[in-house]
Amino acid sequence: MNRVFLWLALLFVAPVLAEEGLPVVTMYKNPACGCCGLWAEYLEEAGFAPPQSHAVTDMAATRRILGMPEIHASCHTARIGRYLIEGHVPAADIKRLLREHPDAIGLAVPGMPMGSPGMTGGRAETYDTLLILKDGSARVFQRHPAP
């Protein structure tokens, strides 16, 4: 039943624009994940409408249905406009993606690097935001050095 609902939501929910012209964020996350909520709050503070959050129990299946390669996995996957956003991607990178409109699946910050948006409490580390190409390969979209 959950999978049927997910398919219907993915196929028939049209992208809606936020007040600032930014597409609505639809986030799929494990119901027990706290850092996903912190990332959603961060996006809201960055000018996005409050993300629409959907709790799912099988993130691997959700990523597969959406089209994000598992190799780039993190704790949540979001749809923003025609792009997928995997993990704790900074808002500035998402806004750049939306401005530049590359022919790609979207962006990913694989894993859960400390210091990325929503990942606080530990020592910040250098991480990369990856542009995920249609063939599933990736290239560095933006490097984020540790402070």
Return contacts of 90-95, CB within 8 angstroms, 24+ apart.
Answer: 90/116, 90/117, 90/129, 90/142, 90/144, 91/42, 91/43, 91/46, 91/47, 91/48, 91/117, 92/46, 92/142, 93/129, 93/141, 93/142, 94/43, 95/22, 95/46
Identify the bridge partners of residue 27 per DSSP, sorted by sequence position: 53, 78
- pLDDT at 15 > cutoff 50: no
- Average pLDDT estimate for 129-142: 98
Between CA 100 and CA 121 the distance in angstroms is: 33
121 vs 79, more confident: 79
Per-domain boundaries in the chain? 22-144
Whole-structure pTM value:
0.85
> What percentage of residues in the chain have a pLDDT greater than 70?
86
Between CA 142 and CA 128 the distance in angstroms is: 6
CATH number belonging to domain 22-144: 3.40.30
- Average pLDDT estimate for 20-34: 89
Q: What's the pLDDT tens digit per position in 51-89?
A: 999 999 999 999 999 999 999 999 999 999 999 999 999
- pLDDT at 142 > cutoff 90: yes
